[in-house]
Amino acid sequence: MNHSIEKRGIVYLIGAGPGDPDLITVKGKMLLESCDVVVYDNLVPDELVVSLPPEMEKHYVGKRSGRHCMSQDDINTLLVKLALEGKNVARLKGSDPLIFGRGGEEAKFLKSNKIKFEIIPGVTSGIAAPTYCGIPPTDRQKSSFILFVTGHKAGEKQLSSVDWEWVAKGVNGTIIIYMGVTEIDNIVSKLLRSGMSPEIPSAAIERGTFPTQKIITCSLNQLPNKVKIENIKAPAIFVIGDVVNLKPYMSWFEDKPLFGKRIMVTRPADQSQEMYKALRKLGAEVQAYPTTSTANYFDRDGWESFRKINTKERWLVFTSGSGVRNFIRQFTDGCGDIRSLGNFKIAAMGDGTAGILKKYSLMTDFKPTKPAITDFADELAGILSSNDTTIVRIRGNKADNSFESKLVAKGIPILPLTVFRTIHPDWPDDFKDKLFEYPPAAIIFTSSSTVDGLFELMSEEQIRRLAENSAIVSIGPATTRRLKARGFSVAIEPKEHTVQALIDELVYYFQKK
């Protein structure tokens, strides 16, 4: 008799929040990062997805501009299929799964197919969007209740099922309307015909909680016309009530130096968390579009040679943060005790790489005075104190070989140790489309490989369109040279080639404009 029990995964219905990636709950983030696969919608913050491990299975099932990537029935079937394969699934949904979303339908379908699930609530846009605009959903003097209403007609209905006459009778409260952009004329007409005051304050908030959010305020009877004039588009929230008048006293989000600026970051996501946070703290909307990512690569022969090094003088040479991180990980896994690196001197290409070494309590003995990799080789060769020397160059699979060539030509033994490989992530078409719908004010490149990666992922015509109104930002001379070779005009290059210096220059650039 077969006593084996079929292993089934679990599906977590996770609310990702309304746009600001920091608004996902702690539990939601923890479960997302622990799953085998993510199934995500269009309104999920891109940063939450691109920051996941490259090997994690990802399924985009979003809807944009009336286009469904996948029907709801197909999404339901996909969730069951993945769970039956024994995978734990993060079903990542914008805002909250159960407030005017279809999380309830998915939960019922999972239940009927005997698939375990959990529902992790999210911060709903009806609360977050007004709050980020300085509009409190309730106030002791002005609003003692909130009414959430959908302005969207379900696909099978010709008319909304909301009783707008009943809604219009609400006084001393706040009405918050979801998904009502295309119906706002009809909604306001029904409210006014049902007796709601035409002078009641109202607001429309487009892309609430994004630093590029857009808000208009006016009386209720002016709302439809202002929505047309200001070209308010979905996703948008409407707020009706006296609390709207509190905005001038409670605004807080807009007062930041990069507020309203979209900044595209091409750096690998696993290296960019601090950059994302720093840019958001300054008010920027981060467009997390990594053009490269790094994967671990174990060079068995290289490590075998490394363990046999017995020369009098020994150098470790690091030219990137990825090299530092992967080397330390592999070294501690294989050798255990980082103190055994005490026999090595350390050379680092630039302040950024030296800073990452410092995080591991490794101090840099040498940094080149010039930014070119060949100058680095020449300067390092000039300070060697012994002919009995081995230089270990920590590198990726696509690193420039000119460093090794220079030293070999000088008769200096060098051991190339490849600890990571560079790969290009997959950008779904809808992922690219967002860039053209919301084009960046600046595009940041932090290495030559991020430049080349963009040309791997997009056509030259697409890149030209994307960059024509964007400031091109380079972290240093080598990246600038690659950008110029590709036809870019560089607007910003900091004198100190670090992420912090780059961000400081970015702020200065936009403050001047």
β-strand partners of 236: 206
Nearest 10 degrees: Cα torsion 204, 255, 290, 401: 160
CB neighbours of residue 333 within 10 Å:
9
446, 499 Cβ separation under 8 angstroms: yes
Residue with tokens 């209905």: 157
The letter for the amino acid at 92 is L
Rounded to 5 degrees, φ, ψ at 395 are: -150, 170
| Buried b / exposed e along 104-141 (16+ C-beta atoms within 10 A) | eebbebbeeeebebebbbbbbbbbbbbbbbbbbbebee
Report the distance separating Cα 62 and Cα 121, nearest Å: 19
Nearest-CA neighbor of 15 among 88, 78, 131, 103? 103
3-state secondary structure 435-492: HHHCCCCEEEECCHHHHHHHHHHCCHHHHHHHHCCCEEEECCHHHHHHHHHCCCCCCE
Can you tell me the distance from the alpha carbon of 454 to that of 268, in angstroms, rounded to the nearest whole number? 12
Q: How far apart, in whole angstroms, are the C-alpha atoms of residue 465 and residue 436?
A: 8
User: How many Å apart are CA 69 and CA 87, to the nearest integer?
Assistant: 22
Alpha helices in 8-141 (DSSP H): 26-34, 46-50, 72-84, 103-112, 125-132
Sheet with 201-206, side-by-side order of all strands: 146-150, 174-178, 236-240, 201-206, 214-219
CB 176 within 8 A of CB 194: no
Please give the angle made by the CA atoms of 252, 258 and 261, to the nearest 5 degrees: 110
Q: Is the bond preceding 130 in cis, omega lying within 30 degrees of 0?
A: no
Q: CA–CA separation, 18 vs 15, rounded Å?
A: 9
Q: Which sequence positions are flagged as catalytic?
A: 41, 63, 179
